[in-house]
Chain A
Amino acid sequence: MDRQNPYFLHPSTIYVSRDSQWIVTILGSCVSVCFFDTKKRIGGINHYMTPYWNGEGLESPKYGNVSIIQLFQKMLDFGAKKEDIVCKIFGGAEVLSEQLSVFNVGQRNIELAYKMVAELGISVVSSSTGGKLGRKIYFNAGTGEVLQKYLVKSNSK
């Protein structure tokens, strides 16, 4: 799978792979955490929309606290070792959406990512978070590389 034909990661989903495969996702106030095992070359990425599951609806990776744990668990299932995993964090822009009631969701998504990754004892090697613009990121699961593009037209995802 080359960069012209990447795997599209939808919101509320998770993807882990051992192959050198490009995964693309579009982030507004949502956040993606990318994990990469530097020795075994296993990469995984999530895309969550809000920080905490509050007991409503399905307990899905739409919620950061569910999503990050699931992504980490999946990395281990693929054979990754906790001490070899590094992390990159993206997204969490202040995108003006119709849902103004969702106060500061971008910022809260970012804070949750840092907090949970720190609790897992994994170091963050790079990040691009916050600001006012949405992002399109390409993550290569086999190399850990991330390419990023700011979106001029903000996307409320």
Chain B
Amino acid sequence: MQLLKLEKENEELVRSLSEVNEKLHDSERLKGHFISNITNEIVNPFTSVIALAENIKRLKEGEIPMAHHMAELIFEEAFHLDFQLKNIFAAALIEAGKEQVKCSVINLNDLNHQISEYFRQLLDKKRIQLSIHFSNESTENDQILFTSDREKLDLILKNLISNSIKYSPEDSVVELKYFMGKKELHFEVYDQGKGINPDDRKIIFDRFKQLDEKINSINTGHGLGLSIVQAYAEMLGGKVRLNDNFDKGVNVMVIIPESAEASDWDDLEDFLLDSEASY
């Protein structure tokens, strides 16, 4: 009986070990793939931007509407490139252990306003409405203050909203809901997309995994977004939870505690564990 139990445990361990092995193997492969891909991902948009600018230069009088259209395309290419680079640099800093947390008092209404403006063109193009609201009674002009790392919170929100826009159908709504808890901020981003395939749910936070591989499309990103969301939320002492509502879309909830880095050194009865004399 005991032997059977041990055998079962052993089988379980071997299975999970081989799973991890496969993951590491995958990861190495993806890393190589990523490096070679990134050249294309950066070079291609630049090539498009240069070509489009050239075309605008050659336009004749009376072709101004064409220039508008091309400028829009340039904006889109440059926007995605810029966003991807932000994520790539963020991931590189996290992996190098160099990310620092810099806290300040954030006015959430300001932050929301900036984020709405940031995605304006993408939202308009798909006729998606970005609806932002707080659980408590507040107006757009109220000061809703929260102490945290503004840059990190900004990139967390941008990645969640960018994903939602990407996977949402046209003429739909992306919602960002805030709840101010006791010394913590909850926020959720909802979309009305097609949800996540159950097989993909396990890998959604992995880096460089994309669920919707579209080769040669610059709008796909590197699948870095959610792994950055998770790493940043953890750095701020928070958590991320993903709810897949299948055909009703996906919602991601993030909880971030309010930062307070008060030093209590004076109250500590510290003791010298060892002095340099021990060397």
Contacts and interface: CB of A to CB of B under 8 A. Distances in A.
Interface in B225-279: 227-228, 230-231, 234-235, 237, 261, 263, 265, 268-276, 278-279
Contacts of B234: 11-12, 49, 62
A56 B23 contact: yes
Interface residues of B, number: 38
B12 interface: no
Q: Which of B97, B100, B237, B278 has the most CB of A within 10 A?
A: B97
Interface in A57-115: 57-62, 67, 70, 86, 88
B45 to A, nearest CB: 24
B268 A136 contact: yes
Nearest to B226: A57
Interface string B85-118: 0000001001111111100000000000000000
Contact of A138 (B94, B269, B270): B270
B207 interface: yes
A13 B94 CA distance: 8
Contact of B274 (A49, A126, A157): A126
B228 A13 contact: no
B227 A58 contact: yes
B163 interface: no
A13 B98 CA distance: 6
B220 interface: no
A32 B39 CA distance: 37
B273 A56 contact: no
A3 B265 CA distance: 8
Given A3-B265, A58-B95, A58-B207, A147 B272 contact: yes
A8 B269 CA distance: 19
A67 B269 contact: no
B272 A57 contact: no
B26 A55 contact: yes
Given A54-B23, A57-B205, A14 B91 contact: no
B100 A146 contact: no
Contacts of B274: 88, 125-126, 145-146
A55 B265 contact: no
Contacts of B263: 4, 6, 24
Interface in B4-47: 20, 23-24, 26-27
A54 B231 CA distance: 15
Given A59-B95, A60-B231, A148 B271 contact: yes
B206 interface: yes
B270 A148 contact: yes
Contacts of B99: 10, 12-13
A52 to B, nearest CB: 8
Q: Which of A8, A49, A60 has the most CB of B within 10 A?
A: A60
A82 to B, nearest CB: 16
A144 interface: yes
B235 A4 contact: no
Q: Which of A14, A57, A126 has the most CB of B within 10 A?
A: A57
6 contacts: A14-B98, A24-B263, A70-B96, A125-B279, A136-B268, A144-B276
Interface of A: 3-4, 6, 8, 10-14, 24, 36, 38, 46, 49, 54-62, 67, 70, 86, 88, 125-126, 128, 136, 138, 143-149, 157
